[in-house]
Structure 1
Amino acid sequence: MEDLITREYETVGGIAGPLLFLERAKAASFGELVDILLPNGDIRRGQVIELSEQHAVIQVLEDTTGLGAAGTRVRLTESAAMMDLSPDLLGRRFNGVAQPIDSLPPVIPDTRAEIIGRPINPVARDKPAHFIQTGISTIDGLNTLVRGQKLPIFSGAGLPAKELAAQIVRQARVREGMEAEAGPFAIVFAAMGVTFREASFFLQEFERGGVMEHTVVFLNMADDPAIERLLTPRFALTAAEYLAFTLGRHVLVILTDMAAYCEALRQIATAREEIPGRRGYPGYMYSDLASIFERAGRIKGQAGSITQLPIVTMPDDDITHPIPDLTGYITEGQIVLSRELHRRGIYPPVDVLPSLSRLMNLGIGSGKTREDHRTVADQLYALYAQGRDVRRLAAIVGEDGLTESDRRLLKLAQDFEQKFVNQGDRDRDIEETLDLGWTFLRYLPKAYLTRVKPELIERYYGP
């Protein structure tokens, strides 16, 4: 039955998990929000996610407890999922669907925007070209983060990914004195499927670091409906787009954990009885992830920028798992955390060798970081890789069987991990990071520094 005035339907054909199947809903449109009216008077929200001539599939955006087909009505609202936007977002805390959880009133909007967003026109994209300092040497020195980049952090269960994320939020900033400064810095933090303890940890860290006044926090808890996890990053990125492209801020977006997001995606796909893809994940997971990650970037003529640091927990530490594998195809590099370094008490346990920033060259060099940045990073990477090879050799033949240069490389690798990678929660300026890099290059004679220009060796190596 259809009421032409209110556009209400009583043709609920069935319910499967978080999905409600509505028959003969000819007036429904894809992406439209609906009100689900229960017989007891409760109202729950939903969204049309699939349409055919006979059926509309509605994704219930709240708890489904007590929801049944008998007596349930669906009212179409003729509106898409929208978010209220205002400069007052900064310093606020919201749940996964952008409802305030900080005991403050709702945001009074200056404007509203659809949370799905629109992909940035490739022609309108501006090339990332400016350095963001995180204060972490393994990122700033060797895998530099550039404004407008998407650079994921690949972690394993039990590794300190959340501590690293909180440290980056506390320390990240655009360096003073750099050219083309366009506006102040802001952070959007979105957590998906976190426990109460983890949420408390993040909030305490933000308060301790004094960054809450320019941070927007979205928290989707582990006991919240899984469907909210699909909306949380989209609400967060809608806020980021407003801060960046309307208010002209440089926005760093941290999304943790994308593995929880993908598990929610698989759960919904299973409820819809879709044909599974690799390891049970839906075949469209690549395009779905791309719809999130590709909202990072810079736009020509716009002052602000959006930079993403998604955190991905790799099941069984498997970097070939579909979640990190697809993420790596879309994003511009990766920061990989090492379980071996973590066991040895090194923090942050960033494994330098498999880590990569594909846009690093665009954000470093004279006028941005320092003229020797690229060559120092290349030479450190090469020598550390050789030192790791020597370590494996020493495990077989013993240190007595090594040459003098091999011993120097072995010591360089050990000290590099203990003094460069292992920095604790210290905030290192890029100048300090590069100077520290030179201390390891001095472990070997100048003749070994084949990747550094002679004039830079003369300037920085010393007598």
Structure 2
Amino acid sequence: ERWGIHRKDPKFDELESKTEMFETGVKVIDLLTPYVKGGKIGLFGGAGVGKTVLIQEMIYRVANNHDGVSVFAGVGERTREGNDLIEEMADSGVIDKTALVFGQMDEPPGTRLRVALAGLTMAEYFRDVQKQDVLFFIDNIFRFTQAGSEVSTLLGRMPSAVGYQPNLADEMGLLQERITSTRGHSITSMQAIYVPADDLTDPAPATTFAHLDATTVLSRPISEKGIYPAVDPLDSTSRILDPRYIAADHYNTAMRVKTVLQKYKDLQDIIAILGIDELGEEDKLT
């Protein structure tokens, strides 16, 4: 059976409207930025902060704790990383439940642009034909955008802001709108998103924000302290961190944790300027 990679997204009346939390087993994520089953999750971070490592950990945990299959699309990344991933998956015994498709960074831009769509088509096949829940990983969405920019230049289009293609939002929408759940079966997507110069306002990562149900921001200062995964709990968000979707105890605990961390961050600035001796007794306890 042969499917084309350019397909329409499901009709509105075929979509699954139920909202359910997707447990990962990573405590900082499950508490502070809970993921949605059948949702789209973005792992944002600069170079070397642990995006790919976190995705590999998720593949291992999901294969062992959840039914269904995983699809991994390696878009414009290093050949070495793909080889390491395959070896690790073979060693951990999860490769039998995973489909992999790669378009590494030395491939032509057309290949890199289409490999994400090819991976998504595989995920749709598992969802619609085999009736399975699917976990779809993309590493890296920024390379998908970059490949689109190169194709746009080759076609002679006038670039837009910061040199990106003029149809950036349209290209991103064509990919993201197909990543969804139909009645009874889901595609849960985890997407590593490289942030150029750690600037979240760059058009490439910023265009992705509107499509995501949860954003996990990986912080360089936190990774430099040796804390992994280097999740920044104050910058990370989730649309289901809301008492309508999660238990009241979960919500209240998460809010208290964020309040304490925000106060600690504010006090760090005061300590850097005035010193710890200038703090009140209550602040010193914090």
Category of TM-score, reference length = shorter chain: over 0.9
CA distance in 2, matches of 1:122, 1:281: 31
CA shift, 1:363, in A, is: 9.1
Match for residue 134 of structure 1? 24
1:376 and 2:249 correspond: no
Q: How far 1:364 moved relative to its partner? A: 5.2
1:210 aligns with 2:93: yes
Q: Does 1:303 align with 2:180?
A: no
Deviations 1:273-332 (A, max 9, x none): 101111111111111111111112222xx3210111111101111100011110012222
Q: Secondary structure at the match of 2:234?
A: strand
Q: Decide whether the 8 Å contact of 1:128 with 1:146 is kept in 2.
A: no
Which of 256, 267, 274 matches 1:397? 274
- Could you tell me which amino acid in structure 1 is paired with residue 193 of structure 2? V
Does residue 116 of structure 2 align to residue 116 of structure 1? no
**Contact 2:63 / 2:70 at 8 angstroms: preserved in 1?**
no
Determine which of 211, 223, 228 is the counterpart of 1:330: 211
- State the distance in 2 between where 1:261 and 1:197 align: 19
SS in 1 for 2:2: strand
User: Residue 175 of structure 1: CA displacement?
Assistant: 6.5
Which structure has the larger Rg over C-alpha atoms? 1
> Aligned-pair distance for 1:173?
6.1
Q: Bigger relative contact order, structure 1 or 2, given CA contacts below 8 A and separation 6+?
A: 2
**Which of residues 218, 234, 239 in structure 2 aligns to 1:353?**
234
Q: Secondary structure of 1:151's match?
A: strand
The one of 388, 398, 406 aligned to 2:283: 406
Do structure 1's residue 245 and structure 2's residue 120 form an aligned pair?
A: no
Unaligned runs of 5+ residues in structure 2 are none
- Contact 1:150 1:296 (8 Å CA) reproduced: yes
The Cα of 1:114 is off from its aligned counterpart by 2.1
Task: State TM-score, norm by structure 1.
Answer: 0.59
Distance in 2 between the 1:204 and 1:269 partners?
Answer: 35
Match of 1:220 among 103, 109, 112: 103
- Map 1:184-333 onto structure 2 (within 5 A): 184-299=67-182, 302-333=183-214
Kindly state the Cα deviation for residue 393 of structure 1 after the two structures are TM-superposed. Answer: 1.5
Aligned residue pairs total: 286
Offset of 1:202 from its aligned partner? 1.2
Query: Take 1:188 and 1:408, find their aligned partners in 2: how far apart are those partners?
Result: 47
Distance verdict in 2 for CA 1:119–1:360, change over 3 Å: farther
Q: TM-score, normalised by structure 2?
A: 0.93
> Higher strand proportion, which one?
1
Which structure carries more helix by proportion?
A: 2
The Cα offsets for residues 336-382 of structure 1, whole Å up to 9 and x where unpaired, read as 1111111111111111111111134489535xxxx521111111111
Residues 150, 332 of structure 1: 8 Å contact kept: yes
Please name the residue that 1:99 is paired with.
Answer: none
User: Runs of 5+ in structure 1 lacking a partner?
Assistant: 1-110, 177-183, 410-463
What do you get for the CA RMSD once the two structures are aligned? Answer: 2.0
